[in-house]
Chain A
């Protein structure tokens, strides 16, 4: 059975792996990448529990996506006997590994994981954020206890409802009632605690929140029930009371179910590696990043991240800053120049000297900005004012029915007033809200739009301005292509240029070679070639004198270049004449123009902030329209300031971005959406995470999030109907426990069902089409 599953997934090699128990990853996975894991200080940050013969460690493996993953990962002990046990948690995408340190080291465990295709994500912040995500056990205890008490009280109340005094229950009646009273105590004192605490804190801040009328209703219901029981006048409404508490707790739990495998609150610590290779007296030493100090020499291999602002010491640096600044192409850096933390080395191994500690680097300093220190100001939910009106209306009805009965039958004042408060508990409002937001969050998650919590949905509703980042948001990081701007080249010229670029190992040269390969296939020989590292190449090829390289390189060779060519370009001059330039562009995602158009039609103000050079301004204007204000070469601080400026104008801003350079803006905005192509990698702190492919659906997603309010209003109208029926019984002082016991579950269940139905039917535009 598992075999077919694995076969279907094309993962048959998993079987080959395990059928050869002699194979170990040792030696097969040749990489120095994980050397830092030999450092004891780093190990201590990762290891949860340690004994002489077993070590417990938890890793985050974002690659987990199917049953075969679980199967393979839980059979690691067959590949390496040093692993005692491995247990996966599918939804959190975690693996807990117990291994024997005398047989296998932590580094080897990680290498083994990487070897089988599950390289763990290990970051400087350690696994702190993993620990935070514990299931809220207290909430489950409360639900369990409320459910137990509710069902037993309900059962023991049946004789009371159904006997209709036809059967003489005698002393049994008291027995049932007192057991009910006993059972309702845990509900009142433990399960319903949060409502009282929340109402109390609200009242202390002179704020009547939604929990205040609920706490009032619970108190009134319980006191009247106790009064009835002690005075032997009735059985009370303990079943209704424990029922509403139970349903409301379930509603809260339903709404709070979060996406376990996502981290919404990462700061820069999560972006940097845990350890670095430092050169001490010519020897490579592994050090935790936190211990890195100014003046140390850091050795960086290809695809490693620069951990702190540093000065470059060796040749061959080609730094990809796309994540830090939003620039498109990797930048070549000359010896002695500054390289910034967060850049990724794309060329060969380099050495750098640290000039600033990690926490004070250019990109990390943004986090020290006072604007970001403040927690996001979460606006109070629109439900709260409603619950205030609700409470006021409720008190007026209770008071007037009391007035009415004082004229006719004073003995009915108290029953009528308390019955009003019991029946009209705003629990239906709370149920509506919690279940609707829970449903909407799930459908949005289904459409690959993962919101942090329900407050985000309400915040989306108020948005009137949307700010986009360019690189990585509107464009796709992984899909780059080269563009040639300038005079057309003849075939012989192309052949010559290609022959020259073919000689260089520079990534841009390689891209140009491939680009020209599509046009011409021949090659020619050249007479002379001169490489200037970090600048360009000068070559003599047949009758052409070719100069290819950066703008400054061409300028220094006496070729006039105009500055409009700034940016991610390689310029080309033939025989002393500027021919044109090659620009590296990330391809725009599909459907951006349509999405932008739709958002504009709906009246949103759109803005574009890019950290990149304005080379593509014309193209963007064409794609997105003229009305959109566009700003280029914006620093992370500029973006933050721009959001703040918009907010000061009274706008509610949604920021859609991806990189570290957007992190400030994402945090400052009313709704920050992090766009990512791989949900596990580099999502800066945000309110919601959106998968890159789905950004073309942004207008639908926003629409749907806005529908949540509509659904709540619809259902609220329904619950008002229930309340009117209940009020009829209550004000006429005829509310029997049985009516209450019937009305309560019917209203609760129909509200939950309607909420699920409406959220489903509104979601048809965002449901993945299969």
Chain B
């Protein structure tokens, strides 16, 4: 049963890692805008054809 102690400590630490990730994302402003990024990700980069390639 003693292994449960270690497993629980590990699980709390893993969950704590996600908590830190959340706090970090809030701090760096990733939660400021919850709409535009969903649109932005759909934009395709157009093919850039350099002029010399055409010539």
Contacts from A to B (Cβ < 8 Å): 1-2, 18, 67, 70-71, 74, 87-92, 134-135, 137, 140-141, 144-145, 148, 151-152, 156, 170, 172, 175-176, 179, 183
Contacts and interface: CB of A to CB of B under 8 A. Distances in A.
Contact of A145 (B5, B19, B42): B19
Contact of B42 (A1, A135, A137, A152): A1
A657 B22 CA distance: 44
Given A148-B16, A170-B1, A91 B33 contact: yes
A90 B39 contact: yes
B22 A172 contact: no
Nearest to A145: B19
Given A1-B42, A170-B1, A179-B8, A140 B36 contact: no
Nearest to A137: B26
Given A144-B23, A145-B19, A152-B15, A67 B35 contact: no
B52 interface: no
Contact of A91 (B16, B19, B35): B35
A90 B36 contact: yes
Contacts of A183: 12
B44 A2 contact: yes
6 contacts: A70-B36, A89-B36, A92-B33, A135-B32, A137-B26, A179-B8
Contacts of B4: 172
A90 B35 contact: yes
The 9 tightest CB contacts between A and B, nearest first, are A148-B19, A90-B36, A90-B35, A140-B26, A144-B22, A89-B33, A135-B32, A67-B39, A70-B39
Given A144-B19, A179-B12, 14 more contacts: A1-B44, A67-B39, A70-B40, A90-B33, A90-B35, A90-B36, A135-B29, A141-B26, A144-B22, A144-B26, A148-B18, A156-B8, A170-B1, A172-B1
A2 B23 contact: no
Contacts of A91: 33-36
Given A89-B36, A90-B33, A170-B1, A74 B43 contact: yes
Nearest to B46: A18
A134 B31 CA distance: 11
A712 to B, nearest CB: 28
The majority secondary structure among interface residues of chain B is helix
A140 B31 contact: yes
Interface string B1-29: 10011001000100110110011001101
Contacts of B40: 70, 74
A151 B19 CA distance: 12
A141 B23 CA distance: 6
A87 to B, nearest CB: 8
B22 A88 contact: no
Contacts of B46: 18
Contacts of A1: 42, 44
Contact of B5 (A92, A141, A152, A172): A172
Contacts of A18: 46
A18 B42 CA distance: 18
Nearest to B38: A90
A1 B16 CA distance: 40
B44 to A, nearest CB: 6
Nearest to A155: B11
B8 to A, nearest CB: 7
Max chain B Cβ within 10 angstroms of own Cβ: one of A89, A135, A144: A144
Contacts of A141: 23, 26
B36 A88 contact: yes
Contacts of B26: 137, 140-141, 144
A91 B36 CA distance: 8
Contacts of A92: 33
B14 to A, nearest CB: 11
Max chain A Cβ within 10 angstroms of own Cβ: one of B16, B26, B39, B43: B39
Contacts of B31: 135, 137, 140
Contacts of B16: 148
A138 to B, nearest CB: 9
A306 B35 CA distance: 38
A309 to B, nearest CB: 41
